[in-house]
A and B are shown apart, each in its own frame.
Chain A
Amino acid sequence: MLIEFDFLAVLGEWPLLLKGVVWTISLTAIATVIGMVVGVACAWARASGPGWLRWVVGSYVELIRNTPFIVQLFFIFFGLPAAGVKLSPELASVIAMVMNLGAYATEIIRAGIEATPRGQVEAAMSLALSRVQTFTRVILPPALKKVWPAMVSQIIIVMLGSAVCGQISTPELSYAANLIQSRNFRAFEAFLIATALYLCLAIALRRLLNWAGPRFFFGR
């Protein structure tokens, strides 16, 4: 038995692959920025919000963390239109990714906030900093610094998870691979190349975030 690979047939479709990569990067970038904001807001709500808000945020976090991403995506894309909310595949993907990352980021950032010594908060209060200032200047930066490695891993997990978005025809990388294999029947080669691209993206993203974190989010 002879297996013949034809990678060129797949690589010849490079414009499709490139478009897929660009979509994957864009989806991840948007989801990361908004998801982090959601995470910070929810972590604050969970640490020092009113009782009912804590409960709501807690339920959101547990609900997302204990269901598969693909089900969340299908619920938003197929389920919500039945309730009157129609979304494009791209928008549904972004919303699903933001909600997913937001929930995990909440837990991660909360862990960092809880590790901040109480004395620092009291010191900030005694310097007449407002509650918002105390949170954004005193509590948040060291908390982010502590949990940044976990945060980077989670962002990469979300980026890899975005491969599922191709299932609702968002034109990201896995969708491109699917499209190529439906044209030339080189399924294994197409998915192998897409997988290799994902691996490169994951490695590059980890480097980028490890570099960007200390510079933009929490000083050195």
Chain B
Amino acid sequence: MVEFSLWDILRNLLGAARWTVSLSLIAFIGGGLVGLALLVLRISGNRLADRLIGIYVQVFQGTPLLMQLFLAYFGIALFGIKTSAWFAAALALTLYTSAFLTEIWRGCVNAIPRGQWEASGSLALSFREQLQYVILPQATRIAIAPTVGFLVQVIKGTALASVIGFIELTKAGSMISNATFKPFVVYSCVALLYFALCFPVSMYAKHLERKTLAR
């Protein structure tokens, strides 16, 4: 039998961590774009859109991410499209992220005093101009800290993609642990790698939060 050293384990895990990082980035950026579109729709004053997006948010926040992944995985296949774990995971995580980000950002937009809307409206700014020059610049400032904080949730969320067979850090950990019979060491390494990814982001989010409060 081939003997695995600690370095072999870490080396393989680090290779798999790339996929955790790329999946997180895809979900975060894609979710951000979809979330922004939903946010604009939601504050545009269309009652129906507001209600529908409210339901969308509640569904994604009120169901397990694991189930969303399964539904994406088996749901896409239903349409006769040959899907991969990679695509299903990216899709489910993107939608999941968009629901949370749009809700976080709506809170930030709502925190902008009504007078700002009224003042910019009375200056004959169109809805797009109001958003672009008045509302979003101010909302962005308070939105940055919670958004970065949510990135940690996304990184941790990608661990569930292992369940539908996408090989990222957690899945690689299971496979290596099955090959080496050293689950204690392997899962400790996996946990530490996640910690190394998430902790700096958490600290940065905390730092940003303090800066926002001080302002």
Contact = CB atoms under 8 A, between A and B. Distances in A.
Interface of A: 1, 3, 62-63, 65-72, 74-75, 78-83, 156, 160-164, 167, 174, 177, 187-188, 191-192, 194-195, 198-199, 202-203
Contacts of A66: 152, 156, 194-195, 198-199, 202
A164 B66 contact: yes
Interface string B34-67: 0000000000000000000000001100111111
B142 to A, nearest CB: 18
A67 B184 contact: no
Contacts of B9: none
B97 interface: no
Contacts of B152: 65-66
Given A1-B79, A70-B160, A62 B202 contact: yes
A68 B195 contact: no
Given A79-B186, A191-B70, 8 more contacts: A63-B191, A65-B202, A66-B152, A67-B195, A69-B159, A79-B188, A167-B163, A177-B70
A198 B67 contact: yes
B94 interface: no
Interface in B154-212: 156-157, 159-160, 162-163, 170, 173-174, 177, 182-188, 190-191, 194-195, 198-199, 202
B102 interface: no
A161 B64 contact: yes
Interface in B58-85: 58-59, 62-68, 70-71, 74-75, 78-80
A164 B173 contact: no
22 contacts: A1-B80, A3-B78, A65-B198, A66-B152, A67-B195, A68-B160, A69-B159, A71-B187, A71-B194, A74-B170, A74-B187, A79-B188, A82-B182, A160-B63, A163-B64, A164-B160, A174-B66, A174-B67, A187-B74, A191-B70, A191-B74, A199-B58
